[in-house]
Structures are given as C-alpha cells and as structure tokens.
Structure 1
C-alpha cells in the first residue's frame, strides 16, 4: 500500500506527521493493521482517510476527532473502528471533516462534524458525533459527500440530500424559490430512477438509469456544464446535454470540476481548470464544455479536491493541483495533462486507488 501528498495530520497513514510526501511511498507492513490485498475502497477528507476492505471493515487514520474529549487526537496509522467491528460495510465516503458508511444491510452510519446538518441529523442536537451512529428510518444503497453536504440514493432509486445549501447544492427550494435549509435527509422533487450521484464543494451531479445527467448548485467555474455568464448557479436540478456521450457509468466531483468515466474506458471532464484538474488544455472561457480527456482504456479513476488519479493499461497517471506533492511526480508543479507516475507502484498490478482532499493512495501487487 502506497500513499503520498499532504500529511500534516498523518492522513497518509505513514506513522508520522510531516508536510508531505512527493512520491508514492510504501507504508511499512508493521504500521498496517489491515491487509492491503483486501482493500476495495479508499477515500479521504481534509485531514483524515478511510479504507474499506472486502470483509466490510473500516479503517481510519489522521485527525479524525474520534474522541470528543480531545478533538485534536491523531491516528498515525490506519486503525479499525472498534465500535463497528460487528458491522459489515459495503461503501464509505468522506466530506471535509465528516464521514459516512453504508452497511451490507443498507443502513447509513455517520460521524464527524455536523455543523451544517451534513450528517442528516439536527445540528443543534448533534453538533459533532465522535463514533459512527445509525441514521434511523432510511435505507440506502449509495452515498456521496461534498465539502459540507451529503447525498444518498435510496433502495427505490430516489435521491435524498442534506447539509449546506448556500449555493443551491441541495437542489431544494421553498415556495418562493429561495434555497431551502433542512435538518434531515430530504427528497429532491422530480428526480427519480437515480443510478449514481456525486457531490462537489458547492454543487451536485446525478445520473439516472436513462443516461440523463442532472446538475445543480454553484456554477462560478462552469462546473454545471454551461457558461457561468448565463447563470452563476442553479437552485434546482437542470438537465445537462452531452451529445457525444452515450455510455456514462460513474460520476466524480472534485471541488469545482467533474469527471465522467464511461463503459468504454474514456474520461470526460468540465469545470474549473486553473490547476490542470480537467486533464486537457482549455482556457477559462470554455472549460465549462464537457470534453474527452486524451487517455484511453481507463480501468480505474479517483478524484481529489483538485487533482486526479487514473489507471490505464496498468499505468498510474495523475494530473491537476500538486501543491502538496499529491500528484506523486516528485515536484510541486501543477500538471495539466495525464502524466505517468514513474515509481515502483507503476511497475506492478494496480488494483485499487483513492484520493482525499490533498492525499493519494494506490495498492499494487
């Protein structure tokens, strides 16, 4: 298991706190309480990281606030969440300073900061949750987290959402059209048969089973797929038309950019591109146009706040924001096109990758 990028809170699980690792660095076996070959998902927030293994166990590291009496407590290496050792999880997700998990039986567990009701519970009663707790009266099969909002897909393919709604990212409005604030997970009207969803810093993207894509929230950087000059934000979901794209299977949101992975192994991107996060050359006037990235046969993809990882033909690529070495190429310059990470990890079979805000992970054998 390799990690690199920001590590000021030991979110890389390397056993120490330091500024950063500029290249993929193997986590020594004595520092791992998990089996790398079992890892099926890696995700991270600003200062913490989560790992899910094939046995349904969640491991955490970093500044995770797991002890409410000591909010600055740090886990220097990945440790299993003891309070959940009898729960089998199927998915994990992270926001800036909070986490969620779905159990094998479609139950939703949440923990961390709830300052914006992003955990789907009233913030006045639950301002912070130290250990994962069950959100009652909701059964879900998929979850996505933004900076401070959360979206879930229910068993009947409805989309429920909660959290900050400062830029319309919840897609909820009141009777006179103002953004609606809610304390608990709430249905978004007129959105049905949802297949998957992704959340950005202040926007949301959803895909239904007909292949239609809907976007809402902040559009300052064209992250909704149309010119910011036309509309700076949308408080309600609107349909996005991408004529050349007919087989989307997965959606990914960074803070202000989006990427779609298609069944044919292609990547499409749009939104902000000041750090090269779109993986293609374009100016600020047309970065809102969804276009294909020149990287074929993509097998795996993961997105951070403003950087990206991809595996194509068993080579590990990165691009975008690189201030903390999170692109893993040994320097701190931003990368504007998919570039192979030349390291030991790229010379092996890569079967899992993951990103946090400024951290990156890969597992190879």
Structure 2
C-alpha cells in the first residue's frame, strides 16, 4: 500500500517531512503503520488526521490550537500517543479543530473552541480554555461534520444537533441563537441520512423524504436558493430537487456543495469563481449543474477540498477541478481548473487507487497493488 499527496504544505500537513508553500506533483508519503492499513484520512485547514484499520490515530501539520492532540507540531504522519488508548471508527477536521468517533459511538473533541465549536462551555474562562485538549463528550454521533467555526452531528434517531458560531444561520437554531457552546437540537428537519458543513452553512439529506434541508449563509447560492432573496437562512429550509434515488454522498466545500447519486450523477451548486462546479459556463445561483467526466467515464469516488474537487473514475484514472493556487489539483495549468482534468499520477499499471481524500488545499490518495 502506498500513500500519495500534493497541494498546500505550509504547515507540513502533507506529512512529507517538511513544511513549504506547496507540493506541486503527487508525491509518495513515507508511512510507518506497522503492518496495519489506512482506514480513513481527514484534512483540516492546515492539519491532517489518519486512522488505521485498528482504530489507532496519527496526525501531522498545523498545531496552533492543539488540533493534532499533541504538544508540538510534526511534519510526518506520526502516532498520536495522547489518544493511544482509544479505538476510533471515524475522524473529522474543522478549520483548526478536530473530532474522533469512538467504537462506542461517543465523540472526543480537541483543538480550537473559541466559538464553542467543540460543544464545550466557553465560560467560566478560568476553567474552560479556548484551546482544548481531548475531551470525551456525553454525545453519541452516527454522522459528524465540521466547518470553519461550527460543528453538526446526526444521532441514531436521525436528529441533527449543532454547536459553535451561528452568525450566518449555520446552526439552524433560528435568528435568536447566533452562537452556542453546547450541542442543541435543530428543529424542523426529517430523519437525516447525510450531512455536510461548509464554511458558514450546513446541508443535509433525508433519504426517506428524498429532500434536501439547507441553512446558513447563501451569499453564493450554496443553499440552492436565490441569493438575492435568501442571503442568510436561520432555520432549515426543505427543498425538493426532484431526486428520486439514493444518495451516495453529500459533500460541501467552503461555498459550494455536491450530491453524488446512485446512478453516478454529480449535481453541484454554489460558488464557481475557481471552477468549483466543474464548468466554464456562468452559473445561475439557485440552480445546480451536472458535472460529467470526459468520454462517459463513471464515478468511483469523489472528495471536496475547500474550493477544489478530486474524483476517481471507475477506470482507475483521477480527475480534478477548481482552485489551483497551491497546485491543489496537482495539475500545472494555472490558478483555476474549470473542468474535470486528468491528474498526472504516475502509478504502476498493476496498482489500483482505493481511497481518495481532500480538504483545505491538500489531497491524499491510497494506492494498492
């Protein structure tokens, strides 16, 4: 098994042993997992978490708010010994904060809590710090997502609970509650099956109702509503987008969102200033675009960074589009890639890409023989 990476590396978040502005081409990462395999990778604003198939946690990169759950920053993907007694099944990163779901479905949070985004009380100041070492919360989560300054979870009943900054409505708790330092239940949503936090918005999908629920900032149409009429939405707005099939993934970048459907269709909406929606055409806010891979290729997997996308096709080719200022896409064609373009990943013809991850401006790709 091999791990490849590229993109922004100003904090050493790529795990290649150094911190520099960017890594321009897919580069191999030296890993020391001691015979275990990569289960999942999560990317924050400048930090990276990894868990192996035994549930052990590793981390590297930016650590200004202790978002690595360690005392010092590291530039290699190293074992996070402070949490060595915990078995993780899922990991999530926000901008400068982190979370892990344990094997008993409880959650452990760490990093910045300046806005209450960890669900920990921010007062009294002498007791609760704005920077938190790992704390286990009395909360159970099936799904979890983190944005710039807020966190949302879905529990086993399909309920959504949110915490953190809500100035743009991203908490969905109404215009009276613009911040929270503990998880509060979002009213007015169905049983949620998919969830994604953007920079200042939240999107959720209810499989039973085949409906999208949206709330938060809509300046760029990231809620699939007309931005002139709905600048900020403080309570969940239910939208029927005419999808009558299962959703494989609901993803969000900073100001754009994407649905990957069972039949392979990719529906994208929101901001397109860097080509995030995979099209050169002008996009009307409040409408979605269909993203298509060249030559009729089908989607195997897809991942969103803050303003770029990487997509694995079923023929083992990798495609990317969007913001490219730090070679986020791995393609040497300027600061924006306006449509799906082949990533020059030089791998052995007997190897297969099995996992892809993106976040912030960095990417990771797992390759197996």
- TM-score w.r.t. the length of structure 1 is 0.92
Unaligned runs of 5+ in 1: none
Which of the numbers 334, 342, 363 marks the counterpart of 1:360? 363
Which of the numbers 201, 204, 219 marks the counterpart of 2:202? 204
1:62-87 deviation line (CA, Å, top 9, x unaligned): 0124769x999421101121122221
Aligned partner of 1:215 in structure 2 is 214
**Displacement of 1:300 after TM fit?**
1.0
**Cα 1:54–1:290, aligned 2, differ >3 Å: closer, same or farther?**
same
- Measured in 2, the distance between the counterparts of 1:327 and 1:346 equals 20
Aligned partner of 2:25 in structure 1 is 23
1:298 correspondence with 2:296: no
Aligned partner of 1:190 in structure 2 is 188
Tell me, yes or no, if the aligned pair for 1:41 and 1:353 is still in contact at 8 Å: no
1:351 correspondence with 2:354: yes
SS at match of 2:277: coil
Q: How does 1:89-100 map to 2 (within 5 A)?
A: 89-100=88-99
Aligned partner of 1:323 in structure 2 is 325
SS at match of 1:83: helix
- Measured in 2, the distance between the counterparts of 1:346 and 1:320 equals 27
SS at match of 1:61: strand
SS at match of 2:85: coil
Q: How does 1:142-221 map to 2 (within 5 A)?
A: 142-173=143-174, 177-210=175-208, 211-221=210-220
Aligned partner of 1:273 in structure 2 is 272
CA RMSD of aligned residues (A): 2.1
- Measured in 1, the distance between the counterparts of 2:275 and 2:260 equals 18
**Cα 1:331–1:20, aligned 2, differ >3 Å: closer, same or farther?**
farther
Tell me, yes or no, if the aligned pair for 2:4 and 2:364 is still in contact at 8 Å: yes
Tell me, yes or no, if the aligned pair for 1:324 and 1:332 is still in contact at 8 Å: no
Greater CA drift, 78-87 or 93-102: 78-87
SS at match of 2:82: helix
Aligned length: 356
- Measured in 2, the distance between the counterparts of 1:145 and 1:17 equals 25
Unaligned runs of 5+ in 2: none
Q: How does 1:68-147 map to 2 (within 5 A)?
A: 73-124=72-123, 125-136=127-138, 138-147=139-148
**Displacement of 1:323 after TM fit?**
0.4
Greater CA drift, 120-129 or 208-217: 120-129
- Measured in 2, the distance between the counterparts of 1:289 and 1:36 equals 47
SS at match of 1:33: coil
- Measured in 2, the distance between the counterparts of 1:326 and 1:206 equals 26
SS at match of 2:33: coil
- Measured in 2, the distance between the counterparts of 1:119 and 1:287 equals 32
- Measured in 2, the distance between the counterparts of 1:88 and 1:109 equals 11
- Measured in 1, the distance between the counterparts of 2:213 and 2:10 equals 36
Tell me, yes or no, if the aligned pair for 1:165 and 1:180 is still in contact at 8 Å: yes
- Measured in 2, the distance between the counterparts of 1:338 and 1:271 equals 17
**Cα 1:344–1:321, aligned 2, differ >3 Å: closer, same or farther?**
same
- Measured in 1, the distance between the counterparts of 2:9 and 2:148 equals 19
Greater CA drift, 345-354 or 191-200: 345-354
**Cα 1:86–1:9, aligned 2, differ >3 Å: closer, same or farther?**
same
- Measured in 2, the distance between the counterparts of 1:58 and 1:45 equals 15
1:336 correspondence with 2:338: yes
SS at match of 2:286: coil
